[in-house]
Structure 1
Amino acid sequence: MASISSRPSSPERSQAADQTKAPINLEPVSPKSQSNHSAITVQDQVDAINPLSSKTATANADAKGPIVEVDTLSTSPDDPLDLGRHRRSNITQRQMKADHPEANKRRMKKFYTRQNALIDQFLQSGDEERLAALDMEENGPKVKFAVNASFVVNFFLFIIQMYAAISTGSLSLFATAADAFMDLVSSCVMLVTSRLAAKPSVYKYPVGRTRIETIGIIMFCCLMTTVAIQLIIESGRALGGGPDESEDLHLIPIIFVSIAIFCKGSLCIYCFLLRRYPAVHVFFIDHRNDIAVNSFGLMMSIIGSRIVWYVDPIGAILIGLLILVSWAANAFEQIWLLVGKAAPKEYISKLIYITMTHDSRIRKVDTCRAYHAGQNYYVEVDIVMDEETPLKITHDVSQTLQRKLEGLADVERAYVHVDYENDHDIYEEHKPMYDVTQRRSIKQRVKEIFGRSKKAEA
């Protein structure tokens, strides 16, 4: 939906809201001119925030304070629909209990927090590209340092883990060394794919090569799951073979691994502060997981060497299972991005808001779709303009809207289609002109024969 829902107790809908089910009207429409699609006016979009459910409305009547702080100033160009007046400044649970005694205060707080965030996204969407450029200019060196430092630490962590594993023969340390090696390989893969994606060939790859990053991640996930399976097999053999004589775990490998874990922890905190950047966010997750895996592996290795021998292979099996499950889940997640998973409904609402407020000559928003084509979105928007509008104006309006949509951080490419009516069936737009008739099966033919015989008898 284009409007911000005001039903706190309503369940979350699925991400299939990639298409408006009714055109959004940007001007008052008389009853005579309404089409078979129910048009939603801008005033409806603004007022749609106010109504609450019957239970909440009753609670609203008993509220001790105002529900929404209304800005009495006129609408500004930055907020043409005056959405700012619907933001709640005080959304604490105590205030929610005072305003809505009969409602669930946690759900009310969650609802208004989500609504405030959605309004902020709407109002900041026009400056998103400029703010992103300024932010990268300010924090770009920090992001680069985080990425480079993470790569260096991963390299030295692999060397330390291999030394500790070879010197002690611990399967748990071999498992952590394999994980460190795959982290190093993943960094190289992402570096290569990112550089390939950043150098598009207009003639060979007209829409760019950004999807190669997703393919690289899937290939790496397959390799990682293979290594995890091999670790599980070897650990199972060691567990079934009984105790063997291996070198005791000396103090030096423990110190080296502890230093590596400390470096990982420091970088994890640093990357946590810059986690809003995708490249740094990946390394933040990597460092967080490595701290847990390496600490667990070191603990299992010490226990297996000093106390009980079978703890070491069991720890290696558990680490292998963790690696297998996490990377398999990551692979399936990336596959859905290539298939064309729809964008969340909040993002669709943001796109509709940008389209609605782009130009006053846009009368309606007929459809709006956004779906993954790799890491980013492809956006398709159908707008309705007056049929008497000159071609030059419709071209300029649609072209500037396309450029604005492609300026969003998560949009790879945008397509804007201009129409003069919204009476057509939107599901017929991409239907083939000629349907290919398929041969009937024997079962269908038998049913048809018996159907004819029954009609003849009747």
Structure 2
Amino acid sequence: MKKDEESADKMNVADEKLELSCETSDIAVEKSIKSPLSFNVDGKTDYQKDDIANSFAAVQENVCRVTPENDLQDNATEIHSEAVIPNDPMALAQHKKLDITTKKLKEEFPTAKPRKLKNFYSKQNQLIDQFLQSGDEERLSALDLETNGPKIKTAVYGSATVNFCLFVIQIYAAIATGSLSLFATAADAFMDLVSSIVMMVTSRMARRPSVYKYPIGRTRIETVGIILFCALMTTVAVQLIVESSRALGEGKRTDSTLELVPLICVGVAIFSKFSLMLYCFFLRRYPACYVFFIDHRNDIVVNSFGLVMSIIGTRLVWYIDPIGAILIALLILFSWASTAYEQIWLLVGKSAPREFLSKVLYVSMTHDEQIKSIDTCRAYHAGEKYFVEIDIIMDENTILKVTHDVSQTLQRKIEGLEDVERAFVHVDYDQEHDPYEEHKPLYPKIRSKSRIKVVLSQIRQRISMVRG
């Protein structure tokens, strides 16, 4: 313990501290961010080992300001065991708060807002769990996939089969009744079927190795496939809007009849969708099952709405049917346009959220005692997953073999995280250098706000001197 304290004292305090926020109206926090225990990475990225532990202490200090006594012990979390838990070198588990019920929070913090405090502690507990489980993500993911793999396959193939049957049934119902609303739902079912085929093809292409043509893989082809499919869906939606508008302009049809058998078929299809939605709901923590859960849920709403609009348009008011088709087409249009918008930013290279950066920093700082600090940490999308770039600081007298082993094992450890596709670890011995010297600058160097304030103050002084 003494050695750790001495080594911590020798470390330089970072220019930017970890910032925490309880996000309550009665808690006085000087600086706040949207989520707890996150690192401020807006400016210079320089992190010391004691920053992470100090951040948890800062949470307790800020929370204690709610009560007049400011007694840290009375307002501490339920778990404060001094024993060091395995794989928890910074003893973060003791900062978890088990009892975060509204009643308990009202007793501890009577002047604070329980909902915001509960939200804060829930996020903090979740982040601590992510930190402590980060070293086993790859192994746990593989074990979980091996255990529940057959269930996932059942959900995927069952959903694809039901989508095909639903398309056939809805095409029959739309042709038999001539309802534009049912034609719109049939188009949606057809695009669901096409999307399943597109995703299967792109996934197979992404897994097929091509070391010389695509040295870092081609997983981004899945994102490209989604964008192309979104473009196709929006085109179909626009065509449905045009045809429905034309039907409104032509007026009431005289040959519209209501057939019972097609409507029963559509009802059976909706029931099948509902059953699969429940099955996928219990497996929603897997990405593929979650996608199908959302798809089935949306299809139930769309098909039910289309069925109701078709019945009303045939029996009561004729123009309800084309209006329903237009509404369904608009729903399809905006849904897939928003999906395309999200996927485009994944290809552009959108930055990872603060919580993920915090987890990468924790993994890096606790990887090896010879890592003195972190100079830079970047994580950005390269398709669905992240590319991570991190610069670690080690002693300049460390031999090359040790430096290589530490950086390589850290690189592989970061790549073991579930959301990471590739990691790049760079070793440096100096943390006071200019980051613009390491790479070709992507953006022009921006002056700091403090410098701008100095210039503005000088201008004001000169103006006042001239007026005086």
Shorter-chain TM-score range: 0.7 to 0.9
Report the equivalent of 2:46: 23
Equivalent pair of 1:19/1:369 in contact (CA under 8 Å): no
For 1:16 and 1:336, how far apart are their aligned partners in 2? 23
Tell me the SS of whatever aligns to 2:395: coil
Once the two structures are superposed, the pairs formed by residues 33-112 of structure 1 within 5 Å of their partners are 41=51, 43-52=53-62, 55-56=65-66, 58=68, 61=71, 66-112=75-121
Equivalent pair of 1:362/1:384 in contact (CA under 8 Å): yes
For 1:16 and 1:168, how far apart are their aligned partners in 2? 60
Cα deviation, 1:184-236, whole Å, max 9, x if unaligned, reads 00000000000011112111101100000000000000000000000000000
Among 373, 377, 382, the alignment partner of 1:373 is 382
Equivalent pair of 1:59/1:102 in contact (CA under 8 Å): no
1:8 corresponds to 2:3: no
> 1:51 Cα shift?
2.4
> Which region of structure 1 is more displaced relative to structure 2, 10-19 or 314-323?
10-19
Tell me the SS of whatever aligns to 1:229: helix
Report the equivalent of 2:248: 239
Cα deviation, 1:411-456, whole Å, max 9, x if unaligned, reads 01000000001001224432359x9xxxxxxxxxxxxxxxxxxxxx
> Which region of structure 1 is more displaced relative to structure 2, 41-50 or 264-273?
41-50
Report the equivalent of 1:271: 280
Report the equivalent of 2:184: 175
For 1:62 and 1:363, how far apart are their aligned partners in 2? 30
> 1:239 Cα shift?
0.6
For 2:39 and 2:398, how far apart are their aligned partners in 1? 34
Equivalent pair of 2:64/2:75 in contact (CA under 8 Å): no
**Greater RCO, CA 8 A, separation 6+:** 1
Equivalent pair of 1:406/1:414 in contact (CA under 8 Å): yes
- The one-letter code of the counterpart of 1:48 is A
Equivalent pair of 1:200/1:208 in contact (CA under 8 Å): yes
Report the equivalent of 2:464: none
Identity of aligned residues (%): 60
Report the equivalent of 2:133: 124
For 2:89 and 2:184, how far apart are their aligned partners in 1? 57
Among 189, 199, 214, the alignment partner of 1:190 is 199
Cα deviation, 1:125-181, whole Å, max 9, x if unaligned, reads 111111111110110000000000000000000000000000111000000000000
Equivalent pair of 1:6/1:48 in contact (CA under 8 Å): no
Report the equivalent of 2:13: none
> 1:281 Cα shift?
1.0
For 1:344 and 1:41, how far apart are their aligned partners in 2? 19
Equivalent pair of 2:21/2:33 in contact (CA under 8 Å): no
Equivalent pair of 2:61/2:72 in contact (CA under 8 Å): no
Tell me the SS of whatever aligns to 1:127: helix
- The one-letter code of the counterpart of 1:25 is Q
Tell me the SS of whatever aligns to 2:388: strand
> 1:2 Cα shift?
8.6
Give the root-mean-square deviation of aligned CA atoms: 2.3
1:390 corresponds to 2:399: yes
Report the equivalent of 1:321: 330
1:252 corresponds to 2:275: no
| CA 1:414–1:19: 2 relative to 1, 3 Å | farther
Equivalent pair of 2:223/2:383 in contact (CA under 8 Å): yes
Report the equivalent of 1:354: 363
Tell me the SS of whatever aligns to 1:12: coil
Tell me the SS of whatever aligns to 1:274: coil
Equivalent pair of 1:271/1:281 in contact (CA under 8 Å): yes
Tell me the SS of whatever aligns to 2:363: helix
| CA 1:188–1:201: 2 relative to 1, 3 Å | same
1:226 corresponds to 2:235: yes
For 2:118 and 2:264, how far apart are their aligned partners in 1? 47
> Which region of structure 1 is more displaced relative to structure 2, 387-396 or 6-15?
6-15
Cα deviation, 1:58-97, whole Å, max 9, x if unaligned, reads 485499x543134333323411000001000100111111
Tell me the SS of whatever aligns to 1:134: helix
> 1:13 Cα shift?
7.1
Report the equivalent of 1:295: 304
Report the equivalent of 1:454: none
Tell me the SS of whatever aligns to 2:60: coil
- The one-letter code of the counterpart of 1:319 is I
- The one-letter code of the counterpart of 1:24 is Y
Tell me the SS of whatever aligns to 1:240: helix
> Which region of structure 1 is more displaced relative to structure 2, 90-99 or 244-253?
244-253
Equivalent residue pairs, number? 420
Once the two structures are superposed, the pairs formed by residues 134-149 of structure 1 within 5 Å of their partners are 134-149=143-158
For 2:86 and 2:410, how far apart are their aligned partners in 1? 16
Report the equivalent of 1:33: none
> 1:103 Cα shift?
0.8
- Structure 2 portions without partners, runs of 5+: 1-15, 25-31, 445-468
TM-score, normalised to structure 1, is 0.87
Equivalent pair of 1:2/1:350 in contact (CA under 8 Å): no
Report the equivalent of 2:214: 205
| CA 1:3–1:16: 2 relative to 1, 3 Å | closer
